[in-house]
Structure 1
Amino acid sequence: MVSEKEIIVAAAVFVVALISQGEGIMGGREAAPHSRPYMASIQVPEGEHMKHVCGGFVVADQWVMTAAHCQPNGQDGRKVVLGVHSLSEPEETKQTFEILEFHTHPNFDLSNYDNDIALIKLDRPFVASEAVKAVGFLRAGGTNPTTDEEVETAGWGALDNLGRRPDKLRELFVDVFSPDECGDSDHFGSKFTSNMMCAHRVCPKPCTKPFRKEDTCDGDSGGPLLYNSTVVGITSNGGKKCGQLRKPGIYTIVSHYTEWIDNTMTPQPAAEESS
């Protein structure tokens, strides 16, 4: 005879399995190895190993763009790894860097994640290869995607709200969500600003039921949102739980920061000494 305890345990296992199956980067698929050579993994020490905490993407030979909230308490031994597909397996393509400089946008607001953009200067230029390349980003005056247009992102973020993490890079195709709806009281309200765009996928095209919502999740922060192979957004924030219907992923609109990006990445001339 099956005991009451065994029934409870079996039911709990079933619920966990049910949650885990449909909520992955949430949804998405494993990317082809090194098919996104601009991807960066920002990692922190954990015992004798390094742990992935945020994503980023290469924009110049010594620069990686990410989210400002990925660096809340200083560098803390953080490193940046490029040319990576598997976080655990040895790969000859991997290049690991110290962080020489971390530039957070001066108007970053932790209360609502407005201006959630940062630039990392690596301790040396990367060695270009098929596995490590810079990606272009949309500049001021460029055309951002509009409501219902398809965009794409990638990362090593959580697969579900249980905190399961993938070892290999995953990619996701989502749809831009109406900014008017994203900013209404049923969604993000006043937290949502003109520097942000929302995106998720409630049902793929063509839509076949049943379907669980697809979205970015914890650990995907700092990764790129691309439209026509150009970065238009940075994975920023969403709800307290991933995959909530009324809490699409929020992305920082990169084209709003062209002047700040250029000024940060361009060496400033040394001041002339007065005679």
Structure 2
Amino acid sequence: YIKTYFCMFPHIFFINGGLESGIVGGKEVKPHSRPNMASLQYRRQHKCGGMLISDDYVLTSAHCLDKTTNFLEVVLGAHNISQNEDSQQIIQVDKYIRNPKYENDGLTYDIMLLKVLLVLKWSFFWLPKNNEDIPAHVECSIAGWGMKKPGGRASDVLWEVSLKLQFSFECKNKWKHHFNSEKMICSVSDGKRAFCQGDSGSPLFCDSELKGMAAYTYPYDCTYKKYPEVYMKISAFLPWIKKNIK
């Protein structure tokens, strides 16, 4: 899925798309160690990542639902998404709740809640307690299903990579008005470690706490060193999230 802006960056790619998903420069996650991480699928093909944040709500990126992907299924308990593992639970979505400002500003408000049909018995990720600044150079990690190098083959198993955060002003200097310092954070681009196409909605952890959600990266090459990768800052959306999940 590509959303085009006629501006300084004519093609900004949202990181969506089944066989183009992935983590670059990481390692395989211990199988089934993150059962509360979701694979969002369309016709049994992985489209995006997501995270369970309550008994019956999953948080992900708003652009994961588009004109070509008009419904999603939530798969929890997966490690190898190409297999029918006994641990997997496939759950139907009852309601899609996009942030109401998404239609007018698809980058800054690229966040969505999925109300699922079952009351789940999984553990879930704890949301940040308040909206606080996240310092640069903190070591963080992100996991997802897929590609281990730009243009490479997608992996069926869950992979994880460690990343360091970047100063917001440096991200603003690179991405200009596409980067909102109040609602976004970004990681250092070292050319070796990155998330890639297809990992929209995947959770970013810093010091073992949920901080962000993968949003967008540089088109064609997610390891391009000139542009840092961008995440939605989850704590900036706490009032909206809490209002909707009650």
The TM-score with structure 1 as length reference comes to 0.76
Q: 2: CA distance between counterparts of 1:81 and 1:113?
A: 26
Alignment of 1:181-260 (within 5 A): 181-184=170-173, 187-194=174-181, 195-200=183-188, 202=190, 212-240=191-219, 241-260=221-240
Q: 1: CA distance between counterparts of 2:146 and 2:102?
A: 22
Alignment of 1:9-28 (within 5 A): 25-28=23-26
Q: 2: CA distance between counterparts of 1:110 and 1:157?
A: 30
Unaligned 5+ segments in structure 2 are 1-21
The amino acid that maps onto 2:224 is Q
Shift of 1:90: 2.2
Q: 1: CA distance between counterparts of 2:37 and 2:93?
A: 16
Alignment of 1:1-275 (within 5 A): 25-45=23-43, 50-73=44-67, 76-108=70-102, 113-128=107-122, 133-141=123-131, 143-184=132-173, 187-194=174-181, 195-200=183-188, 202=190, 212-240=191-219, 241-266=221-246
* CA distance 1:111–1:247, change in 2 (3 Å): farther
Unaligned 5+ segments in structure 1 are 1-23, 203-211, 267-275
Identify the structure with the greater strand proportion. Answer: 2
Q: 1: CA distance between counterparts of 2:237 and 2:115?
A: 17
Q: 1: CA distance between counterparts of 2:177 and 2:71?
A: 35
Q: Please state whether the residue corresponding to 2:195 is helix, strand or coil.
A: coil
Deviations along 1:116-164, whole A, 9 cap, x unmatched?
2111111111233xxxx201121324x4431111111101143233152
- Deviation above 6 Å: which 4+ runs of structure 1? none
* Cα pair 2:142 2:162 within 8 Å, conserved: yes
Q: 1: CA distance between counterparts of 2:152 and 2:55?
A: 33
Q: 2: CA distance between counterparts of 1:264 and 1:40?
A: 20
Q: Please state whether the residue corresponding to 1:91 is helix, strand or coil.
A: coil
* CA distance 1:68–1:110, change in 2 (3 Å): farther
The amino acid that maps onto 1:248 is P
Match of 2:12 in 1: none
Choose 1 or 2 for highest CA Rg. 1
Q: 2: CA distance between counterparts of 1:176 and 1:55?
A: 20
* Cα pair 2:37 2:49 within 8 Å, conserved: yes
* CA distance 1:101–1:238, change in 2 (3 Å): same
* CA distance 1:171–1:177, change in 2 (3 Å): same
The TM-score with structure 2 as length reference comes to 0.85
- How many residues are aligned here? 223
* Cα pair 2:23 2:196 within 8 Å, conserved: yes
Shift of 1:254: 0.6
The amino acid that maps onto 1:188 is W
Q: 2: CA distance between counterparts of 1:176 and 1:120?
A: 28
Q: Please state whether the residue corresponding to 1:188 is helix, strand or coil.
A: helix
The amino acid that maps onto 1:140 is N
Q: CA RMSD in A?
A: 1.8
Q: 1: CA distance between counterparts of 2:167 and 2:192?
A: 16
